[in-house]
Amino acid sequence: DGVKFSDLVLEAKKRGYSEPDPREDLSCQDLVRKLLILAREIGLKLDWEDISVSSLVPESLRDISASEFLQRAHELDEPMDTMLKEAAKDGNVPRLLASFSVSEEGRVSAKIGVEYIPAGDMLANLIPGENIFVIYTDWYSEMPLVISGPGAGKHVTAGGVQSDLNQLLAKLTVTG
């Protein structure tokens, strides 16, 4: 779209789509936490070190303050431009994806990183702040079950906190 990646990062922070320090998102640490929660909620044994993670944060931007990172965010532009051009050669777009799978033996493998997705794919056409879950199972092998919707922003976060508080209050009332 001609917009610099660093400008998108700063805009996402301004709109509340990213963590207060965008490196949490760009280094995939926030995604690791979410993937762990999801996997554990469905009963899988998965630990932090079991997940293969490819960070988008260059080494030079990792061990500096958040404010210095924001000032130097333009250093993200060249690597992202390279990824965009590389993906476009084959009609793809880069997308940051988190996934896990369970082998027939029950072994869980998980990875987080940039993958090149065909431009017409549903994963390539998300709007800012949207999350999508594509679920393949024995029953959904030909056509996956797809769940999508807003995954960031003040209203979504507030709704999640309110829901958690309601569940906690219900448990306290029953046991109380």
Render pLDDT for 49-74 as a digit per residue (tens, 0 to 9): 999 999 999 999 999 999 999 999 99
Distances from the Cα of 174 to the Cα of 136, 160, 161, 169, 171, angstroms: 37, 21, 20, 9, 5
Non-local (6+) Cβ contacts of 146 within 8 A are 122, 132, 133, 134, 135
Both 140 and 165 in a single domain? Answer: yes
Same domain for 119 and 139?
Answer: no
- Assigned token pair, 79: 């690597």
Which domain, by its residues, includes 15?
5-125
Which residue is associated with the tokens 């306290």? 172
User: How many domains, the chain?
Assistant: 2
**pLDDT tens per residue, range 115-139:** 999 999 989 998 877 888 898 888 9
Return the amino acid letter for 13.
K
pLDDT at 18: 84
Q: Are residues 110 and 29 in the same domain?
A: yes
Q: Which of 125, 151, 167 is the last residue of a domain?
A: 125
92 backbone dihedrals φ, ψ, rounded to 5°: -110, 170
Residue 102 shares a structural domain with residue 159: no
Q: What is the mean pLDDT of residues 4-12?
A: 94
Q: What is the pTM of this model?
A: 0.77
Which residues are known to be catalytic? 34
- Average pLDDT (20-25) is 92
Q: Which helix (H) or strand (E) holds 102?
A: strand 92-102
